[in-house]
Amino acid sequence: MSHFTSIQTEIRQIDYLTKALADMGFNCVEVHEFPTPLYGFEGDVREELAEVIVRRKFISSRSNDIGFKRQGDGTFRAVISDYDSREYSLSWIKQLTQRYAYHTLIGTAPVQGFTVEEEEVLEDGTIRVVIGQWV
């Protein structure tokens, strides 16, 4: 039975989190109003809870669920088993956070009166976005 590890993130918005997860290959993501149990690789109910869940069947047959649990300050903590942390490590969380930041920028810029003027992905994977505001 795998032990689950928690990794603190700065992620706050569920909509942008689910879009970032889709960018990372997870199109089937559960969103719950209240914390819901995660399942282990044998289908066993675990004590770990989360509001945003990628079920193990969408990861691999030997995986556990991956969850994101809302904290008291509004951020989410990633809940990942030790087994799955080999592939879904801190570097994976950093990529997810980059995709989250991108969706946050694209989603909030128009609300603040900005338009996306230009967007490109550089060779190193960095996303360059130019936004502008007409005054």
pLDDT digits (tens, 9 = 90+) for 83-105: 999 899 899 999 999 999 999 99
Q: Which two tokens stand for residue 135?
A: 């005054």
Burial of 88 (0-12, 13-18, 19+ CB in 10 A): buried
Q: Which two tokens stand for residue 83?
A: 């087994």
Evaluate whether residue 123 is within a structural domain: no
> How much is the pLDDT for 29?
97
Evaluate whether residue 128 is within a structural domain: no
Evaluate whether residue 57 is within a structural domain: yes
DSSP category for residue 41 = T
Angle at which helix 14-23 crosses helix 90-108, to 10 degrees, equals 120
> How much is the pLDDT for 61?
82
Q: Which residue range forms the structural domain that includes residue 64?
A: 4-108
Evaluate whether residue 30 is within a structural domain: yes
> How much is the pLDDT for 28?
95
Q: Calculate what percentage of the chain has a pLDDT beyond 70.
A: 97
- Could you tell me if residue 125 is left (phi over 0), alpha (psi between -120 and 50 degrees) or otherwise beta? left
**Total domains, the chain:** 1
Global pTM reads: 0.87
- With a cut of 70, which residues of the chain have pLDDT below it? 1-3, 135
> How much is the pLDDT for 84?
93
Evaluate whether residue 29 is within a structural domain: yes
Evaluate whether residue 125 is within a structural domain: no
> How much is the pLDDT for 27?
93
> How much is the pLDDT for 2?
59
Evaluate whether residue 131 is within a structural domain: no
**Taking CA 16 as the corner, what is the angle to CA 70 and CA 4, rounded to the nearest 5 degrees?**
40
